[in-house]
Each structure stands twice: as C-alpha cells, then as structure tokens.
C-alpha cells in the first residue's frame, strides 16, 4: 500500500528554493515524498522531519543527512534547539492527513470503512473521537461541528448525539453515520460526512492549536530570507496561514509602527494560493482542496 501521494510536490519544494548546504525542516513527513525531493537538491545540507504517527517510520529515508523525529510539530522549536539546528533555511508543512491513515480502517479516519471512532494521529494520545462524542456537553459539541466542520446544522447534530448517547455509547463509524444520515442533503451524503469527520479529527488532534504554534515557531526558527511553505486543505487552516503571513497574527489585523510602516514577519511570495491543476486532481482526488502558500522571512 502506498503510504501517501504528495500533493503539489514540485511546486512546494520549488517554493523552498533549496540551497545545497542549507538546513531544512519537513514537519509532516508522512510517506516522505517532500523529504526525498528536498534531499535530491540538498547537497551536503541537513534535513529534519517530524511525524507524530509511529507508522511513518516504516517509510524512513536512509540518508546520513536526514533525521526523523517522532513528535508533534508543535514542539519543533525545542527539538531544533536540542539538535543545534535553530537557524533554518526553509520549513515545509503538508497539513493533509496521509493516504495510509485514511485507508487504514483501524484508525477510524475514513467514512468508507466500518471501525472504531478513533481518529488519533498519535496512537498514544489521550483523546479519541469516541471520547469527544461521549463526554462533550452540547455547547462544546456544537462549537466543534460549527467551527471545524463548518456545518450549518451543527446545533441539531449535537442535540441528536447527546440524545442518542444517553441510551448507549456511539463508538463505531457505522453508528455515527446511521445516526446522522437524516441531516445529510440527498446526493451530498459523502460531503456531509467528510465535514463531520473533519471536525472530529481536528478536535481530537488539536490541529488548529498545533498549526498556530507551528506558525509562531516558524517565525522564530527561520533565518532572514528563509522560506515557509504550507499546503492546507480546508478554509479554516488556509485562513490562519494567510493571515499570519500577511499580518503576523491570526486575525489578519494590520499593525503599523510609529511611522506608519506595516509590522510584519513574512513577505508573501505568492499573492494567491497555488492550487493543483486538473491533471493532478485526476490522478489524486485528495488534492482537490489543496492550497499552497509560500512566504519569505523578513
């Protein structure tokens, strides 16, 4: 089984402007596609990578220039300091879930299989999707589905879950789909359930918190002129990346100094996000929602 087909591979690694002898960081190693492409261009430089999923180690790249760290990228600043590599020439992040994780029924990420509602990217993590569904109060559940799934009927979905769990746990994919099917628009069931599962996955793995920590630490770790390359897959992620690149904060609020000059950390290299062409989408349907943004540290 192929672990993961890298999205926008050439465009993203080109965006890094890899310098032979430079120090680079791939914070979402996955199947190693971006890392292998970076190593082809790296000369005698160094490449570090993060992946909190222990399964990623099965695709480890055997190369003396390469170090894989089994941890969440929200801790990258501490690890880079430990490895004496806290002045980086480039950082790349592909925020999508890997094909291997989606296609493994035991992980509970996909609506296509029956299985337990797990959704932990780190199998040692404390919180699973079952925990969210069984323990979150109505306001908390509503917030998860509204903010992370962008579901207009988030409140009614949450009421249904709260009512149903009083009769027994909701711990399988099939149970959740049967329960929520009446809320799905006819003919768009797959899109509806993709949003439901996205919301749960983001909450289970605190993906928004990790993304914010990543962006702030990227600003600290990159050298002046260093490149930040981020591929995101839904509007909430892309909005945070766009705002941070544009304004140095997550709200997108432009701040200026005493003389009226804009205070910013990055210059955007791409004014608009780069998206996959029709050929790539045809070859890999999971690329459809991808947006690539590139910025340079000031």
What pLDDT score does 4 carry? 53
What pLDDT score does 112 carry? 56
User: Where on the phi/psi map is residue 229: left (φ > 0), alpha (ψ -120 to 50), or beta?
Assistant: beta
What pLDDT score does 246 carry? 96
**What digits encode the pLDDT tens for the residues 229-267?**
999 999 999 999 999 999 999 999 999 999 999 999 999
How much is the pTM?
0.90
Residue 117 is assigned to a structural domain of this protein = no
Can you give the CATH number for the domain in which 146 is found?
Answer: 1.10.150.170
Q: What is the DSSP string of 236-298?
A: HHHHHHHHHHHHSSSS---EE-TTSPEE-SEEES-SS-B---HHHHHH-GGGTT-EEEEEEE-
pLDDT, average across residues 259-277: 95
Provide the pLDDT confidence category of residue 10 given band limits of 50, 70 and 90.
very high
CA distance 113 to 151: 22
pLDDT, average across residues 152-177: 95
What pLDDT score does 233 carry? 93
Asked whether the beta carbons of 23 and 45 are under 8 A apart, the reply is yes
CA distance 291 to 70: 26
Bigger pLDDT: 97 vs 213: 213
pLDDT above 70 as % of the chain: 93
**What digits encode the pLDDT tens for the residues 27-65?**
999 889 999 999 999 999 999 999 988 777 777 888 999
Q: With a cut of 60, say whether residue 70 has pLDDT above it.
A: yes
Domain count, the chain: 2
Provide the pLDDT confidence category of residue 111 given band limits of 50, 70 and 90.
low
Give the residue from 204, 228, 254 where a domain finishes: 204
What pLDDT score does 2 carry? 46
Do 131 and 65 lie in one domain? The reply is no
| Least confident range of 10-24, 109-123, 218-232 | 109-123
Residue 128 is assigned to a structural domain of this protein = yes
Q: Phi and psi dihedrals of 222, rounded to 5?
A: -75, 140
User: Please, which residues have CB within 8 angstroms of residue 182's CB and are 6 or more apart in sequence?
Assistant: none
- Read off the tokens for 253: 């609020």
What are the CA-CA distances from residue 37 to residues 9, 26, 70, 216 (Å)?
Answer: 8, 11, 20, 26
Provide the pLDDT confidence category of residue 108 given band limits of 50, 70 and 90.
very low
CA distance 294 to 15: 6
Distance of CA 113 to the CA centre of its chain: 22
Residue 270 is assigned to a structural domain of this protein = yes
What is the span of the domain harbouring residue 85? 9-99+207-297
Q: With a cut of 60, say whether residue 278 has pLDDT above it.
A: yes
Do 92 and 16 lie in one domain? The reply is yes
Provide the pLDDT confidence category of residue 96 given band limits of 50, 70 and 90.
confident
Bigger pLDDT: 270 vs 11: 11
Do 33 and 89 lie in one domain? The reply is yes
The 10 Å Cβ neighbour count of residue 128 is 19
Residue 156 is assigned to a structural domain of this protein = yes
User: Please, which residues have CB within 8 angstroms of residue 154's CB and are 6 or more apart in sequence?
Assistant: 142, 143, 144, 145, 146
Residue 109 is assigned to a structural domain of this protein = no
Asked whether the beta carbons of 221 and 91 are under 8 A apart, the reply is yes
**What digits encode the pLDDT tens for the residues 122-151?**
877 889 999 999 999 999 999 999 999 999
Can you give the CATH number for the domain in which 24 is found?
Answer: 3.40.50.150
pLDDT, average across residues 105-111: 51
């Amino acid at each position: 089984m192929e672990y993961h087909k890298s999205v926008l591979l050439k465009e993203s690694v080109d965006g890094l402007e890899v310098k032979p002898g430079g120090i680079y960081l791939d914070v979402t190693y996955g199947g190693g596609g971006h890392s292998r492409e970076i190593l082809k261009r790296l000369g005698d430089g160094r490449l570090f990578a993060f992946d909190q999923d222990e399964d990623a180690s099965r695709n480890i790249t055997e190369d003396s220039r390469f170090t894989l760290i089994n941890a969440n990228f929200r801790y990258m600043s501490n690890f880079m300091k430990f490895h004496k590599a806290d002045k980086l020439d480039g950082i790349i992040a592909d925020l999508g879930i890997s094909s291997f994780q989606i296609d493994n029924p035991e992980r509970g990420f996909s609506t296509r299989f029956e299985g337990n509602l797990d959704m932990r990217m780190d199998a040692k993590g404390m919180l699973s999707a079952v925990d969210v569904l069984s323990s979150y109060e109505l306001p908390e559940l509503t917030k998860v589905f509204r903010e992370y799934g962008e579901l207009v009927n988030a409140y009614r979905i949450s009421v249904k879950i709260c009512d149903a769990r009083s009769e027994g746990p909701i711990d399988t994919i099939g149970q959740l789909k049967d329960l929520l099917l009446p809320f799905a628009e006819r003919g768009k069931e797959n899109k509806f359930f993709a949003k439901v599962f996205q919301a749960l996955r983001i909450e289970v793995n605190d993906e928004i918190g990790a993304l914010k920590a990543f962006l702030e630490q990227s600003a600290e770790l990159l050298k002046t002129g260093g490149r930040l390359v981020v591929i995101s897959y839904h509007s909430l992620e892309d909005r945070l990346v766009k705002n941070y690149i544009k304004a140095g904060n997550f709200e997108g609020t432009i701040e200026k100094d005493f003389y009226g000059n804009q205070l910013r950390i990055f210059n955007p290299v791409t004014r608009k996000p780069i998206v996959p062409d029709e050929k790539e989408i045809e070859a890999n349907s999971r690329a459809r929602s991808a947006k690539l943004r590139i910025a340079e540290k000031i």
